[in-house]
Amino acid sequence: MPASPSDHEPANLIRLVGVEKSLGTQKVLRGVDLNIREGEKMVIIGRSGGGKSVLLKHILGLMRPDAGQVWFRDKDLAQLDEEQMVPLRKETGMLFQNGALFDSLTVGENVAFPLRERGNVDEKEIQSEVARALKIVDLPNQELKWPSQLSGGMRKRVALARAAIAKPALMLYDEPTSGLDPVVADSINKLMVRLGDELNMTSVIVTHDMVSAREVGDRIAMLYEGKIYCVDKPGVILESQDPVVKRFVNGISDASDAIF
Amino acid sequence: MTRYAQQIGSRFMGMLQATGQIVFLFQDIIRCLFRYPIRIGLLIRQIDFIGAKSVPVVMITGSFIGAVFAAQCEFQFRALGMSSAVGPVVAIAMCRELGPVLCALMIAGRVGSAMAAELATMKITEQIDALRALAVYPTEYLIVPRFLATLITLPILVGLAILCGIGAGYYVAVHVLGVPGVYYWNNTVKYTHDKDIWIGLVKGFFFGIIIVLIGCNKGLTAAQGAEGVGLATTEAVVDAFIIVLIANFFFTFLLNSIL
């Protein structure tokens, strides 16, 4: 008996069904349908202000859809209250666009935060895990610094160490390489690939950075006018002849020639 | 005309909304108190910030209010030959009204504004979302320690303000204006009762609840951007001042009949 496609494909970890969201009077998401498979690295591209970060926050349950469903395995996040989401969030890590490090904690305390919150971890083990995580993001011996003493790129790397230290099943990245120099951006890209491959993490990466999308993504989804316009392998999306996709991928604006 | 009516209506709706938010926040805090263990480290840090670091401000305020009040009373009572009555008047006024109200206003200015600014900044820099993403409930982590620390420290600060006020009043009346010290002190002890002190401390406790709820709510509901942080901070202070002064009127009658 021939195998069905579902025998080969991993199960969906995240399933978005008809997700709609308005912020104020603006309708940001207009019926997003997207499946993210277990262990895959899904890159979501789209224009600034197009709702990519909002979509990411729906996947983590930080925002609730006005309509539609957000399934994390067999649970619809839209139906859960804040406390029912706690066990699911323990399986999740998120890198925020500007790091979102806690100002009142040192770098070491920030990175140790998820481990301390989970409890049952020996303090010595926490210290060694923090040192290891900071070394991986190329910031060794920075434990005692305060977030205000770090540059934007360093803050982002500390935030990445914090998000990944508890080895979550799902990692969400909001613009992981924006504001970074090409060398650091490349190291972040490689780190995202390694985390995905070695720890079999499912990754959802929101980015404008086409280099990052090509290097990291197993699949790319394009968000356009509040809906998923297309989903496919990086090669197919980046070589697409569709005018909307092509214009975004090649960075061609549709602005007129007029100047101020 | 229609525009004015709309403005009044909109402000009224805003007030109702803010009241609703504060009631829900209070309910959430009480639920968290029973649901989660108290974070002792964060509580101590808040007690240090709200209590210990407010001591100089409260002492200075209490002392100078007590001193000025004693001087004014003495100027008026001297003509009536009642200078020795200055002591109980100052003590009762400090215990029942000046101590708790001025201490609450100082704490609202120093601590309520800081709470609003810190929480609003955490909100706009996504730190509160980051807490939620790390499976931590923000009310339990951020609000409960502030709430408990304010409730613990405010009655103590009120007590300190009262002591300083009475002490400074004594100094000015006796050592500066020449009121006989024995009469001053005997009258103060004779006419000041436990009830007067309890009224001040109980008021301080409830003013603490008002300050922390308004400060935290303003921070958590701040609009985006630097302007949102500034507005939340200003509103936290102004609203706390107004509500403390209005509440004080009702507490005065209520506590006088209960205690």
Extended strands (E) in B52-182: none
Kindly give, in sequence order, each residue whose CB lies less than 8 Å from that of residue A73, ignoring residues fewer than 6 positions away.
Answer: A13
The full DSSP string for A49-79 is TSSHHHHHHHHTTSS--SEEEEEETTEEGGG
Instruction: Copy the structure tokens of residue B69.
Output: 């009040």
The tens digit of pLDDT for each residue in B125-156 reads 999 999 999 999 999 999 999 999 999 999 99
Look at A117-121, A166-170, B56-60, B85-89 and tell me which has the smallest mean pLDDT.
A117-121
Backbone dihedral angles phi then psi of residue A141, each to the nearest 5 degrees: 60, 35
A92: chain B residues, CB-CB within 8 Å: 133
What ranges do the domains of chain B cover?
40-254
Confirm whether A224 is domain-assigned: yes
Long-range contacts of B175-179 (CB under 8 A, 24+ apart): B176/B71, B177/B70, B177/B71, B177/B74, B177/B83, B179/B74, B179/B83, B179/B84, B179/B86, B179/B87
- Which 14-53 residues of chain A touch chain B by CB within 8 A? none
Q: Of A255 and B67, which is predicted with more confidence?
A: B67
Number of domains into which chain A is organized: 1
Closest-CA distance, A55 to chain B, in angstroms, reads 14
Look at A1-5, A77-81, A143-147, A233-237 and tell me which has the smallest mean pLDDT.
A1-5
**pLDDT level of residue B86 (50, 70, 90 thresholds):** very high
pTM for this structure?
0.88
**pLDDT level of residue A259 (50, 70, 90 thresholds):** low
Mean pLDDT, range B89-110, rounded to an integer:
96
List the single residue in A82, A90, A100 with the smallest CB-CB distance to B130. A100
The tens digit of pLDDT for each residue in B113-130 reads 999 999 999 999 999 999
Task: Show the domain range for A236.
Answer: 40-61+86-249
Instruction: Copy the structure tokens of residue A61.
Output: 């349950």
| Amino acid occupying residue A27 | K
| Residue corresponding to tokens 């929101």 | A206
Q: Within a 10 A sphere around the Cβ of A128, how many other Cβ atoms? A: 11
B133 touches B23 (CB < 8 A): no
A97: chain B residues, CB-CB within 8 Å: 126
Residue A1 has pLDDT above 50, yes or no: no
List the single residue in B131, B135, B137 with the smallest CB-CB distance to A90. B135
The pLDDT assigned to B238 comes to: 95
3-state helix, strand, coil in chain A (%, to 5): 35, 25, 40
Confirm whether A255 is domain-assigned: no
B121: chain A residues, CB-CB within 8 Å: 103
Q: What distance, in Å, lies between the first and last C-alpha atoms of chain A?
A: 68
ipTM: 0.87
Closest-CA distance, B165 to chain A, in angstroms, reads 36
B48 and A CB contact within 8 Å: no
**pLDDT level of residue A138 (50, 70, 90 thresholds):** confident
Residue A153 belongs to domain with CATH number: 3.40.50.300
The SS3 of residue B195 is helix
